[in-house]
């Protein structure tokens, strides 16, 4: 064996090799942490899944069966109603229309509505023929009225004009 008296200079490792070594150690630690973390969550979730499957496979109680039947009955009723709703005629729109389109000095005492035919017969009183004419004029100008027809007009006991008007309404008023 030869003994060397002359010391050899230390071999210097480049800085990038040190950085790569540290990065690979960090990557190894992160990979191991991710492995054990995912393994833990997998076991936890598989236990939860087994518990849920057990709940689903057990028999239904009488309360659950009764509740399910009630829900199905309500569902059927909702389906039947939703079939009827598109064909439903909304008569309440007529009242807001009449409130908006009635002369202030005209009083309607009776109303006969036939929504399937789109007709309404109004009976009322006005102070005089001039006001009755103004009311007919208002109805003729209304967009939702196809036709207005004065059926009868007579002078009542108090000197007021008693009349009947027949209106043919557009279908939009009932929607």
Answer whether 85's CB lies under 8 Å from 174's CB. Answer: no
pLDDT at 174: 67
Prediction pTM value: 0.49
Work out the number of other CB atoms within 10 angstroms of the CB of residue 142: 16
Across residues 161-169, what is the average pLDDT? 88
Band (pLDDT 50/70/90 cuts) for residue 41 is very high
The token pair that represents 96 in the structure block: 């807001």
Closest CA to 96 of 165, 50, 144, 62: 144
**Residue 6 DSSP label:** S
Sheet of strand 119-126, all strands in order from the earlier edge strand to the far edge: 106-114, 119-126, 161-169, 145-155
pLDDT at 146: 85
Instruction: For residue range 57-109, list pLDDT tens digits in order.
Output: 777 778 888 999 999 999 999 988 887 776 655 666 778 788 888 888 888 88
pLDDT at 114: 82
Domains contained in the chain, CATH given = 92-174 (3.30.1360.100)
């Amino acid at each position: 064996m030869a003994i060397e008296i002359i010391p050899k200079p230390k071999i210097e490792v480049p800085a990038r090799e040190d950085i790569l070594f540290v990065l690979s150690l960090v990557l190894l630690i992160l990979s191991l942490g991710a492995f054990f973390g995912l393994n833990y969550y997998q076991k936890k979730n598989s236990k939860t899944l087994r518990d849920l499957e057990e709940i689903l496979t057990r028999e239904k109680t009488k309360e659950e069966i009764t509740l399910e039947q009630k829900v199905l009955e309500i569902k059927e009723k909702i389906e039947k109603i939703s079939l009827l709703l598109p064909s439903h005629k909304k008569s309440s729109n007529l009242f807001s229309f009449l409130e908006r389109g009635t002369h202030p000095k005209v009083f309607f005492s009776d109303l006969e509505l036939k929504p399937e035919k789109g007709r309404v017969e109004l009976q009322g009183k006005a102070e005089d023929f001039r006001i009755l004419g103004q009311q007919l004029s208002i109805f003729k100008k209304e967009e939702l009225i196809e036709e207005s027809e004065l059926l009868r007009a007579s002078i009542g006991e108090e000197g007021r004009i008693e009349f009947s008007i027949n209106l043919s309404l557009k279908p939009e008023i009932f929607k």
